[in-house]
């Protein structure tokens, strides 16, 4: 028995020692720390992150992008503490990962630049999280209006905002999504409660590296498919605007229904006249990509802009900023080599477009 016990202890030590060494090494490296969402339920219906926390964000096994930031007192990625009593009017900036902008230092984000440039006369607060579609943006608009009295809103719209507004196409714990109910789309909250594994992931640099940097869960899923263990999936189609280029008629029809529901609900949730809401629409970014105008993203992008203009909302088409700049600066890129989100240059051009827009000039002092 002593010999067996010794062998077991030796085996366990042999397994534990490399893990402990890896844990210690990764604590010295910029492993993604995670921001971790708070519970979402009837008592707390607003999706937000754990509040007042510093975080590190990095990408890939080799930390190809590293950024450090902070969630504020309202649980959003923003260096400013949000206050409810302020004489300066507020512009609320609402969006998904393009506004959350984990990979961009806050002062270099377009809303960080707006906050700095307009500080003498206006405030600028952001409300955003990765993966949030149009349906979720409505909830943050209402939060910005009711909690902080936002006098105007800037709303970013990107390629996956349309179909992912529907529960049919997205699983979004913590988000509000549209579900079909009696042939109508109804905005519905999907509650979120942190799982038991969250504490381990927060405490362990190795666990965070595996899940948040390497995305080991996705890798294992793909490996199981390759070995015939899991359900095989079709090869990924070409992407434009972070969504497949292929035009699936059902997805296109449902996406157009989601856009109609969004504009139907927008007046009630934003509680602002159209002239106080500005949409910033991501585009193809480079002239060489314009051949994809008839892709899913191209069709939905055009449809959304037509619907917004017909209702009197202001628009900034990012391509009107990006494509001329790229023509004048052929080496310019608006995303990262390893990440398709806007880089600081793209944020700078968007900020400049908003600052010189007739929409901003038309806001009351």
pLDDT tens for residues 98-111? 999 999 999 999 99
The one-character DSSP state at 209 is I
pLDDT at 5 over 90: no
Query: Residue 237: pLDDT above 90?
Result: no
- Cβ-based neighbours of 50, under 8 Å, separated by 6 or more: 35, 36, 37, 38, 71, 75
pLDDT tens digits, one per residue of 189-210: 999 998 877 877 788 888 888 8
Residue 165 phi, psi dihedral angles, 5° rounding = -75, -10
Higher pLDDT, 243 or 193: 193
pTM above 0.85, yes or no: yes
The 10s digit of each residue's pLDDT in 301-313 is: 999 999 999 999 9
Query: What is the CA angle 331-333-334, rounded to 5?
Result: 155
The token pair that represents 110 in the structure block: 């377009």
pLDDT of residue 235: 47
Residue 328: C-alpha distances to residues 290, 302, 325, 332 (Å): 17, 25, 5, 9
Q: What pLDDT sits at residue 10?
A: 67
Count Cα neighbours of 205 within 13 Å in the Cβ-side half-sphere. 18
Bigger pLDDT: 305 vs 27 = 305
**Residue boundaries of the structural domains of the chain:** 1-29, 77-195+209-361
SS3 119: coil
213 close to 32: Cβ distance less than 8 angstroms? yes
Buried b (16+ CB within 10 A) or exposed e, 195-214: eeeeeebeebbbbbbbbbbe
pLDDT higher than 80, residue 26: yes
The band of 17, judged by pLDDT with boundaries at 50, 70 and 90, is confident
Q: Give me the mean pLDDT over the 202-221 stretch.
A: 77
Whole-angstrom CA distances from 349 to 45, 98, 159, 322 are: 34, 14, 19, 8
Query: How many other CB atoms are there within 10 angstroms of residue 262's CB atom?
Result: 25
Which CATH number does 77-195+209-361 carry? 3.40.50.1110
Whether residue 226 has pLDDT greater than 70: no
pLDDT band at 183 (very low <50, low <70, confident <90, very high): confident
Residue 221 above 70 pLDDT?
Answer: no
pLDDT cut 90: percent of the chain above it: 75
Does residue 228 carry a pLDDT above 80? Answer: no
């Amino acid at each position: 028995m002593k010999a067996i016990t010794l062998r077991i202890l030796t085996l366990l030590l042999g397994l534990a020692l490399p893990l402990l060494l890896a844990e210690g090494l990764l604590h010295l490296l910029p492993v993604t720390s995670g921001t971790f969402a708070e519970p979402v339920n009837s008592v707390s219906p607003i999706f937000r992150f754990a509040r007042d926390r510093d975080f590190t964000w990095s990408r890939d096994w080799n930390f190809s992008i590293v950024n450090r930031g902070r969630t504020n007192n309202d649980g959003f990625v923003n260096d400013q503490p949000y206050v409810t009593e302020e004489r300066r009017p507020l512009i609320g900036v609402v969006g998904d990962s393009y506004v959350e902008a984990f990979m961009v230092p806050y002062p270099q984000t377009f809303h960080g630049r707006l906050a700095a440039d307009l500080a003498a006369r206006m405030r600028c607060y952001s409300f955003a999280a990765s993966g949030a579609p149009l349906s979720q943006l409505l909830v943050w608009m209402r939060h910005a209006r009711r909690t902080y009295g936002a006098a105007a809103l800037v709303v970013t719209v990107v390629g996956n905002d349309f179909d992912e507004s529907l529960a049919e196409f997205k699983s979004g714990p913590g988000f509000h999504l549209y579900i079909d109910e009696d042939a109508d789309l109804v905005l519905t909250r999907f509650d979120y409660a942190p799982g038991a594994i969250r504490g381990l992931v927060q405490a362990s640099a190795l666990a965070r590296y595996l899940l948040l940097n390497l995305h080991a869960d996705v890798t294992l899923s793909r490996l199981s498919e390759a070995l015939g263990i899991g359900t095989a999936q079709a090869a990924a189609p070409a992407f434009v605007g972070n969504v497949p280029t292929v035009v699936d008629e059902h997805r296109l029809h449902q996406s157009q229904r989601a856009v109609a529901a969004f504009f139907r609900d927008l007046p009630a949730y934003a509680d602002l006249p159209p002239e106080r809401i500005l949409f910033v629409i991501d585009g193809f970014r480079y002239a060489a990509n314009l051949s994809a105008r008839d892709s899913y993203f191209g069709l939905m992008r055009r449809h959304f802009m037509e619907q917004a203009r017909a209702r009197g909302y202001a628009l900034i088409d990012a391509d009107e900023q990006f494509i001329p700049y790229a023509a004048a600066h052929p080496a310019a890129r608006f995303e990262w080599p390893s990440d398709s989100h806007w880089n600081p240059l793209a944020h700078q051009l968007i900020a400049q477009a908003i600052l010189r827009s007739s929409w901003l000039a038309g806001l009351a002092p």
